[in-house]
Amino acid sequence: MSIHRPGHRSVWRHGQALIATLSFLLVLGCATPPSSFYRLMPTAGSGAQGVGPSSITVGLGPVTFPQFLDRPQIVAGEGRNRLALDELHRWGGSLQDDFLRVWSENLASLLGTSRVLVLPSEVRVPLDFRIVATVLGFEGTVGGEAVLKVRWVVLDGQREQVLALREDRYASPVQAGGGPEALVAAMSECLGVFSRDVADVVRGLPKPVPLAGAGEAL
C-alpha cells in the first residue's frame, strides 16, 4: 500500500490561498463605514407682531466661533474638560456657515422681513440694525443636552452705536436613543430660541433715523 503525501508545491498553494482569504477578511473587518452628514434647521417659526414685510433691514455679522468648533466633525462634550470628535458624523458644510444660514432664516421669519443680510454682503443697502455675535460654546452630549452660549450686540446699522448687549445660555434636551441626529435637532432648537430672543429685542427698539443723504443701492 502506498500513501500519497502532498508535495511542497501543494502545501505552498494551500498556504497562499489561506493567506489570501485571511487578508480579504481583514480588509472587510477594517473597512471604514461611510460618514453621515448633518445640517441645522430653522425652528423659530413665525412670530412677527406688527412688523410689515421689508419694514426693517438687519445685517448679521461678524459671528465668531471658538477654534475647537471650527472643524467638520460634530463635537460633543465628555465631562467638564474633554471633547469628543465624531469622525463618522460630520457637518455638511461648516458649523459657522450653517449657524448664520439658519439664524438669518429664523430672524427673517420672526421679524416679517426678507431684508436680513449675512455680512459681508454684495448687496449695498443701509442697515437699520447690525447684530454681532461671539459664540462661546455650541455643542452637546448624545443622550444629554445641547448647549448654546453666546454673547451678542445689537448696533445702530449706520451709526454703529450699541443699542443692546447681552450674554445668554440656551439648553435643549437630546432625545434619548436618537444619536447624533437628535443632538443636531436639539442644537437647532437652541438656535431657534436664541433667534426669538434676538427678534424680541430688535422689535422693542425704535427704528433708527436714517443718516442725511443715505440712500439705497442694490
Q: Residue 185: which CATH number?
A: 3.40.50.10610
C-alpha cell at 191: 438656535
CA gap 37, 87 in Å, rounded:
10
State mean pLDDT over 165-190. 94
Q: Is position 218 within any domain?
A: no
Q: Which of 34-43, 100-109, 151-160 has the lowest mean pLDDT?
A: 34-43
Q: Is position 15 within any domain?
A: no
pLDDT at 116: 96
Q: Which domain does 104 fall in, by range?
A: 57-203
Closest C-alpha among 166, 60, 75, 71 to residue 113: 60
Position 13 pLDDT exceeds 80: no
Position 28 pLDDT exceeds 50: no
Q: Is position 108 within any domain?
A: yes
Confidence (pTM): 0.80
Arithmetic mean of pLDDT over the chain: 83
Q: Is position 42 within any domain?
A: no
State mean pLDDT over 46-65. 74
Q: Which of 25-34, 105-114, 121-130 has the lowest mean pLDDT?
A: 25-34
State mean pLDDT over 125-133. 95
Position 2 pLDDT exceeds 60: no
Task: Give Dmax over CA atoms of the chain in angstroms.
Answer: 116
Helices (H), 4-94: 8-30
Q: Is position 38 within any domain?
A: no
Q: Is position 106 within any domain?
A: yes
DSSP character for 210? Answer: P
Neighbours of 167 (CB within 10 A): 11
Please report, rounded to a whole number, the percentage of residues in the chain having pLDDT higher than 90. Answer: 57
Q: Is position 16 within any domain?
A: no
C-alpha distances in Å from residue 25, one per residue of 16, 29, 30, 45, 63: 14, 6, 9, 51, 48
Neighbours of 198 (CB within 10 A): 27
Question: How many domains does one find in the chain?
Answer: 1
Q: Is position 138 within any domain?
A: yes
Q: How confident is the model at residue 39 (pLDDT cuts 50, 70, 90)?
A: very high
Position 217 pLDDT exceeds 80: no
State mean pLDDT over 176-181. 88
